[in-house]
Structure 1
Amino acid sequence: MSPPIKVVIPARFGSSRLAGKPLLQLCGKPMFWHVFQRTVEAGVAPEDIVLATDDQRIYSEATRLEITCLMTAVDHASGTDRLNEVANKLNWINDTLVINVQGDEPLIPSQLIQQLINFTNERPHFDITTAVSPIQTTEDVTNPNIVKVAMGEHNRAVYFSRSAIPFNRDEPNCVDMIYRHIGIYAYSVKSLQQFCQYPESAIERMEKLEQLRALSNGLSIGATIVEEAPPHGIDTKQDYVNIKYLMES
């Protein structure tokens, strides 16, 4: 029997590059509403989806749109800590599967969410699961803003880096076996609580990649492979302009 499934959509108001972005309008609805819709389209019941915010304006708008919303602390270091607060406040049992769907990705494919859920249910031995897609160009390999993943055997993620990994010594320009990380995660409540007990790790601090905290402390990460990366999320005003044009044209 599969564990209960919950989805948490972190929607923080403050952003160094685009403050208030969860409330930005796309096709007449706030950005977080579109993320909620993609999750429903993946087969998750609306009552099992929680918007986690730190701002009364977002909370009020979510309530008006009949989306379950929970106020969380302002000072969380990461979205994972926000997820953990939600799981604790709602008393979800240890084996509950919690999916973290980023609140700034209105075009995330519902098929990707469903694929991650299926993958996680089929491989309960992983503490955390996520998704990756093959990188196609050397430009993406060398771009530090694109996080690369070294994949081991049986869908195990071995390391995450902003550098080119794994490096093909004999064919340096070869992009085979180089994967891009897609920022969606699934955890059991037990793994989520365990992760949030660890302090920031040394390599996490260097790479500015939170998932390295899990690997540093012996938690396993499994990754399902999707053929194409989803559209880029909204981090900047230009990202918003681009996606708004794409969705409304």
Structure 2
Amino acid sequence: MEKLKKVALIPARYASTRFPAKLVQDLCGMSVIQRTYLSTVQTGVFDQVVVVTDHQAIADQIVAVGGDVFFSTREFESGSDRIAEAAQAMDAGIFVNVQGDEPFQDTQSLLDLTAVFSDPEVKVASMMFSISAAEAQNPNAVKVVLDKDNFALYFSRSPIPYVREKAVEISYWKHVGIYAYRKESLLAFTGLHKSFLETTEMLEQLRLLENGVRIKMVPTTHQAIAVDTKEDLERAVAWYMGRIKF
């Protein structure tokens, strides 16, 4: 079987509602986006890593560490929409959307994610992490329920599935927002209108499900640190300095 070229595309939007300019904040001598870029490269999983941005400050920081940058030409609804513009002219079979605000990437997780494309039936894949019933109550933790082959049935901010019989033991899966696409599936995503469920839950992956596109879910034990707030940045610094563990 022909080996598919794998490219990591990191959408890096400058504006942020909860934490303005979060990607250029200092994280122990480098910015958040620099650490995300370098940790993605250092996994060795990808043939190429490119930061897709709308702002010169982010581009300058990536160039400063020897990285590749693609400038977005307009505003986009989602990170997947943003990276699709960059992917269009690139010669690769698999594109992985690595979140720009997750500075510590995990090699094994990314290997597992890209490995599922050995099955020609897999067009889109993402990741999930086991959480407790208490954690499942948090609307910021996006949950996913699965079919018997680990394809997503639905994603929600609500705790799903609902447990009617309290004696039943249930596993909750938290969605980890890293997506992998075959090129044709990524480009097709941009041609789909923003869907009803996507708008309702504010979850871009629901656009795919509503249009009949299956998403293969890959389990991981890696707990990614996403920098969405100043408190998250402090936690990332503490982890990097070895003061806390997960």
Decide: shared fold, TM above 0.5.
Answer: yes
User: How many angstroms does 1:108 deviate by?
Assistant: 2.9
- Correspondent of 2:185 among 177, 185, 191: 191
Q: Structure 1 residues 41 and 247, CA, compared in 2 at 3 Å: closer, same or farther?
A: same
| Other-structure match for 1:80 | 80
**2:43 and 2:105 in contact (8 A); partners too:** no
**1:138 and 1:173 in contact (8 A); partners too:** no
- Correspondent of 1:247 among 220, 240, 243: 240
User: How many angstroms does 1:74 deviate by?
Assistant: 4.4
| Other-structure match for 1:236 | 229
Quote the Cα distance in structure 2 between the aligned partners of 1:68 and 1:40.
11
| Other-structure match for 1:126 | 122
Q: Is residue 18 of structure 1 aligned with residue 19 of structure 2? A: yes
Aligned counterparts, 1:163-182, within 5 A: 163-171=158-166, 174=169, 176-182=170-176
Deviations 1:139-191 (A, max 9, x none): 211111111100101121111011121223222773x2321100100001100
Deviations 1:107-145 (A, max 9, x none): 2322211221112x233312210011222x222111111
Aligned counterparts, 1:1-249, within 5 A: 1-45=2-46, 48-88=48-88, 91-93=89-91, 96-119=93-116, 121-135=117-131, 137-171=132-166, 174=169, 176-226=170-220, 228-249=221-242
**1:108 and 1:231 in contact (8 A); partners too:** yes
Quote the Cα distance in structure 1 between the aligned partners of 2:42 and 2:126.
19
**1:99 and 1:184 in contact (8 A); partners too:** yes
Quote the Cα distance in structure 1 between the aligned partners of 2:45 and 2:37.
10
Quote the Cα distance in structure 1 between the aligned partners of 2:49 and 2:167.
44
Quote the Cα distance in structure 2 between the aligned partners of 1:131 and 1:32.
21
Q: Is 14-23 or 215-224 further displaced after alignment? A: 14-23
Quote the Cα distance in structure 2 between the aligned partners of 1:116 and 1:204.
23
TM-score by length of 1: 0.91
Q: Alignment RMSD, CA only?
A: 1.7
Quote the Cα distance in structure 1 between the aligned partners of 2:171 and 2:58.
41
Q: Which runs of 5+ in 2 are unaligned?
A: none
**1:10 and 1:79 in contact (8 A); partners too:** yes
**2:94 and 2:183 in contact (8 A); partners too:** yes
**2:109 and 2:222 in contact (8 A); partners too:** no
In the alignment of these two chains, the number of paired residues is 241
**Consecutive aligned runs of 4 or more in structure 1 exceeding 3 Å deviation:** none
Quote the Cα distance in structure 2 between the aligned partners of 1:143 and 1:105.
20
Percent of aligned positions that are identical: 32
Quote the Cα distance in structure 1 between the aligned partners of 2:238 and 2:129.
25
**2:10 and 2:99 in contact (8 A); partners too:** yes
User: How many angstroms does 1:30 deviate by?
Assistant: 1.4
TM-score by length of 2: 0.92
Q: Which runs of 5+ in 1 are unaligned?
A: none
User: How many angstroms does 1:229 deviate by?
Assistant: 4.5
